[in-house]
């Protein structure tokens, strides 16, 4: 398979945008029953009397949607060889059933690997926005990619 | 509703541990098809050819399972007001079908809110280990909790 993006293609300042994805009430409660069974994620009735005033998605499910948008937006067409982790993850706004989420990815910094001549690391800012243009999740983290041309 | 744990019940150095949890091959593939469709999470054969030498769980599924363990160990019995986020998420080792994972979570710091006398925050480090005692993931997160007795400032 020919890949579209290698490490060299992630130049600082470059931005990738995606289409949208939504979570239904059923998607939200199903995820929450397995992974985050707090009542404002699992029970629309109970959620009404919570501080959130209604059902909201688990923050981890919003991260899952962010990952999915990232996969569809660029990641599946890259030479990515994994991620060591995230520096910072912030849940800034609740996500409710039917919200249309999209991802804006910004390249912050790009570093060639000191160990592997055929690899490099990229630091990204990922911002997931809702239909009102509000950032609901922001993450800063690194991904590792193979180079098109080894150093 | 009364809760078992309020902000005052958390203290620096407090450790909580969970029992064992595992993810089946089917659970790993189902999660990945929805949220992280990289072939080493969705396809056994392709995963075999990959750098990881076999199917591994999405790091987001491991993080989500970590959340489930946190819920079961104390959060569902706590007067929780949510979380603003986490820092230093690290995926240290791959998680494979059938691995038995458990949680060790340690309170790093507790702080009364300066703006809300009825609330305080707790910073914790959560570590997930596999059946061989290897650390597979860790993160540091902040939780907000109601106080049993609201303080001044």
Task: Answer whether A67 sits within 8 Å of B60, measured CB to CB.
Answer: yes
Output the CA angle A10-A16-A22, nearest 5 degrees: 140
B1 occurs within a structural domain: no
What's chain B's average pLDDT? 96
- Is the per-residue pLDDT at B153 higher than 60? no
- For the residues A92-105, what does the mean pLDDT come to? 98
Report helix, strand or coil for A83: coil
Q: Over the stretch A39-93, which tens digit does the pLDDT of each residue have?
A: 999 999 999 998 899 999 999 999 999 999 999 999 999 999 889 999 999 999 9
Q: What is the C-alpha to C-alpha distance for residues A139 and B1, in angstroms, rounded to an integer?
A: 34
Q: Looking at the partner chain, which of A35, A71, A90 has a beta carbon nearest the beta carbon of B84?
A: A90
- Is the per-residue pLDDT at B2 higher than 80? no
ipTM above 0.90, yes or no: yes
What's chain A's average pLDDT? 96
Q: Residue B144 forms beta bridges with which residues? A: B121
B2 occurs within a structural domain: no
Provide the number of structural domains found in chain B.
Answer: 1
B66 occurs within a structural domain: yes
- For the residues B54-68, what does the mean pLDDT come to? 98
B103 occurs within a structural domain: yes
Output the CA angle B88-B92-B94, nearest 5 degrees: 135
Of the pLDDT bands very low, low, confident and very high (cuts 50, 70, 90), residue B151 is confident
B152 occurs within a structural domain: no
Q: Over the stretch A116-144, which tens digit does the pLDDT of each residue have?
A: 999 999 999 999 999 999 999 999 999 99
Structural tokens at position A35: 């992974």
Q: What is the C-alpha to C-alpha distance for residues A65 and A14, in angstroms, rounded to an integer?
A: 22
Q: What percent of chain B has pLDDT over 70?
A: 98
Residue to substitute from B71, B90, B138, B146, interface A, most A β-carbons within 10 A: B71
- C-alpha dist (Å) from residue A146 to A8, A123, B36: 9, 15, 20
Report helix, strand or coil for B117: coil
DSSP secondary structure code for residue B36 in this structure: -
Q: Over the stretch B76-129, which tens digit does the pLDDT of each residue have?
A: 999 999 999 999 999 999 999 999 999 999 999 999 999 999 999 999 999 999
- Is the per-residue pLDDT at A2 higher than 90? no
Task: Answer whether A90 sits within 8 Å of B89, measured CB to CB.
Answer: no
Quote the pLDDT of residue B1.
Answer: 58
Task: Answer whether B59 sits within 8 Å of A83, measured CB to CB.
Answer: yes
CB atoms within 10 A of CB B28: 25
Element (H, E) at A121: strand A119-129
CATH of the domain at B120: 3.10.129.10
CA distance A18 to chain B (A): 15
pTM of the model: 0.96
Quote the pLDDT of residue A31.
Answer: 98
Domain that holds residue B77: 7-146
Element (H, E) at A41: helix A39-42
B90 occurs within a structural domain: yes
Q: What is the C-alpha to C-alpha distance for residues A42 and B31, in angstroms, rounded to an integer?
A: 18
Contact B90, B141 (CB under 8 A): no
DSSP readout, B37-84?
--HHHH-HHHHHHSTTSS----HHHHHHHHHHHHHHHTGGGB-B----
Domains of chain A in start order, with CATH, are 9-146 (3.10.129.10)
- Tell me the chain A residues in contact with residue B32 when contact means C-beta distances shorter than 8 Å: none
Quote the pLDDT of residue A1.
Answer: 55
B151 occurs within a structural domain: no
Quote the pLDDT of residue B152.
Answer: 58
B95 occurs within a structural domain: yes
Task: Answer whether A36 sits within 8 Å of B71, measured CB to CB.
Answer: yes
């Amino acid at each position: 398979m020919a890949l579209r993006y290698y490490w060299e293609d992630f130049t600082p300042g470059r931005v990738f945008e995606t289409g949208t994805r939504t979570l239904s009430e059923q998607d939200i409660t199903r995820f929450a029953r397995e992974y985050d069974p707090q009542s404002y994620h699992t029970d629309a009735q109970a959620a009404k009397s919570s501080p959130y005033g209604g059902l909201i998605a688990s923050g981890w499910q919003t991260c899952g949607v962010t990952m999915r948008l990232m996969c569809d937006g660029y990641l599946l067409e890259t030479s990515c060889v994994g991620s060591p982790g995230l520096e910072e993850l912030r849940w800034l706004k609740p996500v409710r059933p039917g919200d249309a989420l999209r991802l804006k990815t910004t390249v912050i910094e790009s570093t060639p690997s000191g160990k592997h001549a055929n690899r490099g690391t990229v630091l990204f800012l990922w911002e997931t926005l809702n239909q009102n243009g509000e950032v609901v999740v922001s993450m800063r983290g690194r991904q590792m990619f193979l180079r098109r041309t080894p150093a | 509703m009364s809760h078992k744990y309020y902000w005052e019940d958390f203290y620096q150095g407090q450790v909580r541990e969970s029992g064992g949890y595992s993810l089946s091959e089917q659970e790993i593939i189902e999660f990945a098809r929805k949220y992280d469709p990289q072939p080493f999470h969705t396809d056994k054969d392709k995963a075999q050819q990959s750098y990881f030498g076999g199917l591994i769980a999405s790091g987001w599924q491991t993080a989500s399972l970590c959340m489930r363990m946190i819920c079961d160990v104390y959060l569902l019995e706590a007067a929780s007001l949510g979380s603003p986020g986490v820092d230093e998420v690290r995926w240290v080792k791959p998680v494979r079908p059938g691995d038995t994972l458990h949680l060790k979570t340690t309170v790093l710091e507790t702080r009364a809110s300066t703006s809300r006398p009825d609330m305080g925050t707790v910073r914790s480090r959560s570590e997930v280990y596999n059946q061989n005692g290897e650390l597979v993931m860790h993160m540091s997160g902040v939780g907000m909790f109601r106080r049993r007795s609201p303080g001044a400032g």
